[in-house]
Structure 1
Amino acid sequence: MMMHLLTAASIALAAAAIPAAAGSGDIFSKFLWKRRVVLVFGDQMNQDVANQTDDLQAVREEVENRDLTILTIVGGTVSDGGQLGGLPPADALRRRFKVDDQQRFTVILLGKDGQEKLRDSKPVSPDALFALIDSMPMRQREAREND
């Protein structure tokens, strides 16, 4: 009996240590260890949302080079520019990242480990975003491997 309790406690502790993004039913499991994700939230389509997405679209090759997927969440709509399909619902994303549907603008960067690396209430320039990504140990390893 005591052994079963210890085993159950060990399993519970191990499960708690796994990042939320690693859960099998998680909305980001398809990205985990494969893609970085930029989430662009807006209460409605506004200038900040348009600027953030346009700026990233303008440097599409750099975005792809860094394994970035861009998801735009405006109101109740989620878009990835028609790339993947099967996207999570807007309300699930807003709950998961604690972004109220009344917030004008929020941008979040998730690393390949599924963890939040950046959050801002103003658009982030592609150069600043790429500098942050390029400073990450995983990205540095990827760059060395691709040379």
Structure 2
Amino acid sequence: MATLFLLLCTASQAADITLFRTLMPETTSLNQYQWHCRPVVIFAPSETDLNYVHQMAMLEKSKAELADRDIIVLSDTSPASKGHLRAQLKPTGFEVVLIGKDGGMKIRETKPISSEDLLSTIDRMPMRKANLD
């Protein structure tokens, strides 16, 4: 199973389907990605939320850079679905959360984060600096 996630998260697999995914309501943790990917979890009140649209547009323009850093983007745009991670993190409106490969929360913002800020944060991480990923 871990090999499957590793394959999905490699830079050579930069297709939209591997980079951009829907966060399923039944997902209770992101442990399956630990040590393989860096999830960016985006919570929004809807797919038409202006912050969400803006965030996704910025990330879409940086697909190659996201793939190079083993990022996957998980979106939850349905508060009514009462997703488990939404209940745990309790976002109010729009939020972006970056989870490191170690499973720790690295960024939590209530406004869209630029691709440059996201990528530079990752580039400062010890695993990235050591080229261990």
Deviation, 1:91, is 1.6
TM-score (norm: length of structure 1) = 0.66
| 1:53 matched to 2:56 | yes
Larger radius of gyration between Structure 1 and Structure 2: 1
Does the C-alpha gap of structure 1 residues 41 and 63 become closer, same or farther in structure 2, counting only changes over 3 Å? same
Taking only aligned residues, the RMSD between alpha carbons, in angstroms, comes to: 2.1
Q: Which residue of structure 1 aligns with residue 71 of structure 2?
A: 68
The number of residues matched between the two structures is: 106
TM-score (norm: length of structure 2) = 0.72
Q: Distance in 2 between matches of 1:104 and 1:114?
A: 23
One-letter amino acid of the structure 1 residue matched with residue 30 of structure 2: F
Structure ranking higher on relative contact order (CA contacts 8 Å, 6+ apart): 2
Q: Distance in 1 between matches of 2:90 and 2:42?
A: 13
Unaligned runs of 5+ in 1: 1-24, 78-88
Q: Which residue of structure 1 aligns with residue 130 of structure 2?
A: 141
Note if contact 1:41-1:73 (Cα within 8 Å) is conserved in structure 2: yes
Deviation, 1:44, is 1.6
One-letter amino acid of the structure 1 residue matched with residue 34 of structure 2: L
One-letter amino acid of the structure 2 residue matched with residue 44 of structure 1: S
